[in-house]
Amino acid sequence: MVSTLHHHPPRSLSRFFSSSSTTIKSRSFHSKPILCSDQSPSSTSSPQSQILSIRHSLLSRHVTATQLAESYLTRLKLTEPHLKSFLHVSEHVLKQAESLDHRIDRNENIGLLAGVLVGVKDNICTMDMPSTAGSRVLENYRPPFDATAVKRFKELGGIVVGKTNMDEFGMGSTTEASAFQVTANPWDLSRVPGGSSGGSAAAVSARQCVVSLGSDTGGSVRQPASFCGVVGLKPTYGRVSRYGLMAYASSLDVIGCFGSSVADAGILLSAISGHDRLDATSSKREVPDFTSQFISTELLGSKPLKGLRVGLIRETLDNGVDNGIKSAVLGAVSHLEELGCTLSEVSLPSFPLGLPAYYILASSESSSNLSRYDGVRYGNQATADELNALYGDSRAKGFGPEVKMRILMGTYGLSAGYYDAYYKRAQQVRTLIQKNFKTALDENDILISPAAPSAAYKIGEKKNDPLAMYAGDIMTVNVNLAGLPALVLPCGFVEGGAAGLPVGLQMIGAAFDEEKLLKVGHIFEQTLQGCRFIPPLIADCDAQ
């Protein structure tokens, strides 16, 4: 078992908030793993599905949907001034919960997600609710429709609690590129939550909602999941409809799920997956019942993953990865071995090429996708006396600096003189990466790596160094280039903040084999001893 134990000293919420910004000393960049032996009983409990326990409580009349919604909203109200995870909180949550209670009173059937509060990333359209993608260009935009993923979870009784903060159009790794606010990491308010779906990850980590939706173009679900100590699931490209997801780089974008357990992320995936005639790239493959995976651990033998072939990607433990991250991932490797897996090291020689290829392709596609925001077809309109000035001013005022930089880079990479050297070459690298993954996944059931080369860093630390920030995406972008599914789940801690910082393990599977990832991930998290991935902020908040 991994012995990364973690103890939360009790302290009042107000002290936590006020001390966090002033007394935290800056740590060395190379973080150390936390190894303690003072295992408190509460630190050993494995994460349980909130969705299943809500269902049980509602059906057994232990709690009403209204009481449940009120408790989440109270926590949200207490924590939100410090976290800023949400750009908009819905005014309809209690009304929807009340109407669910009436249905339960009348013994009507309720869906699997009944009463479950869901945070939705702000680039996913929600009817009559602001959907800005974190951009001024869409400020005050309220779509007249729901994205298919939102429509689907609502049909099962899920309630949208609000729209979560993000880097503008998904371009960034910290939420600092949001036009509206920076979200803080619930584990240490002076640190970033990751990005671009930082608001969705922080909201689940701080238990402001039960689960949330994010989008992942190059790691935007997985890296914030790792930074905030929650589970992040990036499905296979085509598994979930992109209808209503605002396009960044269409050949890479997918909607993904956050939960505080593997089960919750998997149940949400079940709800939103499947073909949609409104998205021609959504797959017609049948969707397995991911929820049946979540068997009780009592039913597992001593080697529940016996014979599972796991390949540790050699290139992901090279220089540039913090020592603490390496130790936590190697701890996870021994845990998988104890569960019966056969571990081997696999080499993906093209892995380091993923980063430049991703940034060329994603920027190129974004330069084309974002051309629609001209103030006439889409987006807020500037005032100007002449059409070209109107286009120019609407874009100049509507987009932030990171988006402008990506549009310029992408336009350059696609331009006549440079197309062969950049865009075409990057596409060739993409094919190579896909082939390397295919070979590795023919020989292994799953591949593993860290989810990010470091734990959450300080707000402002990389803001003015885009290359350093892009380099942090090295672990995740290859998976998008290959269109594969990947699950990130917390596997340990490194030093940092007042209570340690979580570390995420990435598990990568073959296309459309989310089922295997969920099974392995669930068994891994249920048997991981001594780690409790609930930020101390929450215990303090609930004690108030």
Which segment (29-37, 95-103, 211-219, 342-350) binds ligand ASN by CB under 6 A?
211-219
Give 186 or 256: the residue with its C-beta nearer to ligand ASN.
256
Closest to ligand ASN by CB, 33 vs 256, is 256
Q: Please tell me which residue in 85, 135, 220, 449 is annotated as part of the active site.
A: 220
Find the part of the chain contacting ligand ASN (CB under 6 A) among 165-173, 205-213, 385-393, 526-534: 165-173
Question: Residue type at 253?
Answer: D
* Both structure tokens of 454: 């470091």
In the complex with ligand ASN, which residue's Cβ is closer, 58 or 228?
228
Comparing CB distances to ligand ASN, the nearer of 196 and 260 is: 196
Other C-beta atoms closer than 10 Å to the C-beta of 143 total 18
Could you say which of 172, 324, 398, 485 contacts ligand ASN (CB under 6 A)?
Answer: 172
Say whether residue 220 binds ligand ASN (CB under 6 A): yes
Q: Interacting stretch for ligand ASN, rule CB under 6 A, among 78-86, 171-179, 234-242, 292-300?
A: 171-179
The contact pattern for ligand ASN, residues 468-497, with x = CB under 6 A and - = no contact, is: -----x------------------------
Determine which one of 90, 173, 190, 196 is catalytic: 196
Whether 46 is a known active-site residue: answer no
How many angstroms separate the CA atoms of 211 and 164, rounded?
Answer: 12
Please, what is the minimum distance in Å from the beta carbon of residue 219 to ligand ASN? 5
- The one-letter code for the residue type at 500 is G
d(CA 427, CA 480): 13
Say whether residue 123 binds ligand ASN (CB under 6 A). no
Quick one: which segment of 52-60, 212-220, 371-379, 523-531 binds ligand ASN (CB under 6 A)? 212-220
Using CB under 6 A as the binding rule, whether residue 216 contacts ligand ASN is answered as yes
Give the interface size with ligand ASN as a residue count (CB under 6 A): 12
**Number of Cα atoms under 13 Å in the Cβ half of residue 157:** 22
Q: Binding marks (x or -) toward ligand ASN, 320..359, rule CB under 6 A?
A: ----------------------------------------
Question: Which residues contact residue 190 at a Cβ distance below 8 angstroms, ignoring those fewer than 6 apart?
Answer: 20, 21, 24, 184, 458, 459, 497
> Which CB sits closer to ligand ASN, 220 or 367?
220
Contact region with ligand ASN (CB under 6 A), list: 97-105, 213-221, 289-297, 519-527: 213-221
CA-nearest of 405, 498, 401 to 456 is 498
Taking the least distance from each CB to ligand ASN, the nearer of 171 and 339 is: 171
Using rule CB under 6 A, residue 165 touches ligand ASN: no
Listed in sequence order, the DSSP H helices in 295-424 are: 323-338, 354-369, 387-398, 401-414
Instruction: Among 143, 158, 219, 497, indicate the residue that binds ligand ASN (CB under 6 A).
Output: 219
Q: Is 108 exposed, middle or buried (0-12, 13-18, 19+ CB in 10 A)?
A: exposed
- Looking at this protein, which amino acid is placed at residue 190? S
Is residue 158 a contact residue for ligand ASN (CB under 6 A)? no
Please give the Cα distance from 141 to 537 (Å, whole number).
33
Dihedral angle of Cα 312, 317, 318, 320, to the nearest 10 degrees: 150
Active site residue 196: yes
Is 171 a residue that touches ligand ASN (CB under 6 A)?
yes
Which positions from 176 through 205 interact with ligand ASN, judged by CB under 6 A? 196
Distance CA 198, CA 176 (A): 9
Whether 344 sits among the annotated catalytic residues: the reply is no
Reference 135, options 376, 387, 395; nearest CA is 395
Q: Applying CB under 6 A, which of residues 134, 170, 256, 354 lies at the interface with ligand ASN?
A: 170
Backbone angle region of 341, left / alpha / beta, with phi > 0 → left and psi within -120 to 50 → alpha: beta
d(CA 194, CA 185): 8
217 binds ligand ASN, rule: CB under 6 A: yes
Contacts of 347 (CB under 8 A, 6+ apart): 313, 314, 315
Annotated active-site residue in 49, 84, 85, 121: 121
Q: Residue 348: which of 481, 439, 423 has the closest Cα?
A: 439
Q: How far apart are CA 177 and CA 174, in angstroms?
A: 7
Number of residue whose CB is nearest ligand ASN:
220
By C-beta, is 220 or 261 nearer to ligand ASN? Answer: 220
Between residues 52 and 471, which has the closer beta carbon with respect to ligand ASN? 471
Q: Is residue 264 within 8 Å of residue 226, measured between CB atoms?
A: no
Token reading at 267:
């149940």
Report the chain's terminal Cα–Cα distance, integer Å.
Answer: 35
- Interface residues with ligand ASN (CB under 6 A) are 170-173, 196, 216-220, 362, 473
Residues with a catalytic annotation lie at 121, 196, 220
